[in-house]
Amino acid sequence: MNNILYWAPCLDKVATITAVLSSAKSIKKYYSKIYKVSILNILGEWNDHYTKKIDFLNLTNFNLFKLLPKKGFLRSRFSYIIFILFAFYPLIKILKKNKPKFLIIHLITSLPIALFIIFNFETKLILRISGLPKLNFLRRLLWKLASHKIYKITCPTEETYKYIKKLGIFNEDKLVVLHDPIIEIDKYKKIHNHDESLINKQIIAVGRLTRQKNHLFLVKTFSKILEIYPHLKLKICGDGENYKKIKSLAKELNILDKVALPGYVDDVKPVIKNSLCLLSTSLWEDPGFVMIEAAMSNTFVISSNCPNGPKEFIGNDSAGLLFDSNNSENLIAKFKQFMNMNEEEKLSKKINAKKKLKKYTIFIHAKKLNGVLSNEKQ
């Protein structure tokens, strides 16, 4: 039995949590006779995500996660240092003693990379790189020193793959596109509620209330959209450091009665399904989980043409509509285009979106990840 460990210490409710959980589930579901899968839990960051379907391995006995600061750049960096300090020796110990076949790393990757540079573990290291990461001095140094120690680098989008390839740090044969396992088809079969009144007027936005998601821009632009379509409402599902700013802006623009901020919603699929469209204003994505979920829910997608995933999925407006990132006038123009579309045009784009969903299913992810683990040609 080949043991797989996932390393993904997370501070917030980020999409990576879903990616790691779904990836682990997919391997356990389809390849349980070959692999034993566990997620490393350092300071209790995975306690709220425990499920019988996945094994969790506690690296320490310290449940400090809820005490760690999570908002703000400097505070989050302090928490990352705490993670590294507490995980340092336990991670070395488990890699030397348990000798797992694979270690798949997602977040705060500097520690495991540094350890693989220093020690000669029998474990094969798989690094997941998302987005278009800035190559600061430390990251460039670590990647170069570890390039011969890293078994494979997985990228969730073609754009990330091309970017990493162009850097020339890693051999091309180490790079592979591995789309995130976003869709569990069975979960969508259970969504039955259908609210026609919401579908005709509710715009949905989903994501952490942070700078990346650009919700302040969304609220400002929505206030202008309301001048044209006063019957519409905006629901922003998510929690984060910008909650008060977003609410304050909506109040300032006198549209607070039109903007709902329910906070983090555990299962947004029914909310997405009962919406006129999904509107994503992100400054960057990789690939944009909620966009894939919307397409699966048969909900129209309007997204910013930001790096790194929307263009790959939507194409040249064939599977939804793209607007110029952070461009209010262009967003309004694209929204008017959407509102003026007949049902046949909307259906055509929704069908095109659904055609692209197969590679985001847990089955295809598991099949391709197994190929990576067994070193099959991709």
- Which tops the pLDDT comparison, 51 or 181? 181
- The per-residue DSSP string of 252-304 comes to HTT-GGGEEEEE--S--HHHHHTSSEEEE--S--SS-HHHHHHHHTT-EEEEE
pLDDT in tens, 141-193: 999 999 999 999 999 999 999 999 999 999 999 999 999 998 887 776 665 56
Count CA within 13 A, CB hemisphere, residue 98.
Answer: 21
The conformation of residue 37, written as its DSSP 8-state character, comes to: E
- Confidence at residue 192, expressed as pLDDT on a 0 to 100 scale: 55
CATH superfamily, domain at 2-181+361-373: Glycogen Phosphorylase B; (3.40.50.2000)
CATH architecture of 185-358: 3-Layer(aba) Sandwich (3.40)
Asked if pLDDT for residue 199 goes beyond 90, the answer is no
Share of the chain above pLDDT 70, in %: 96
Asked if pLDDT for residue 130 goes beyond 70, the answer is yes
- Confidence at residue 195, expressed as pLDDT on a 0 to 100 scale: 66
pTM higher than 0.85:
yes
Q: Quote the CA–CA distance of 192 and 190 in Å, as a whole number.
A: 6
Judge if 2-181+361-373 and 185-358 fold alike in CATH terms.
yes
**Sequence spans of domains, the chain:** 2-181+361-373, 185-358
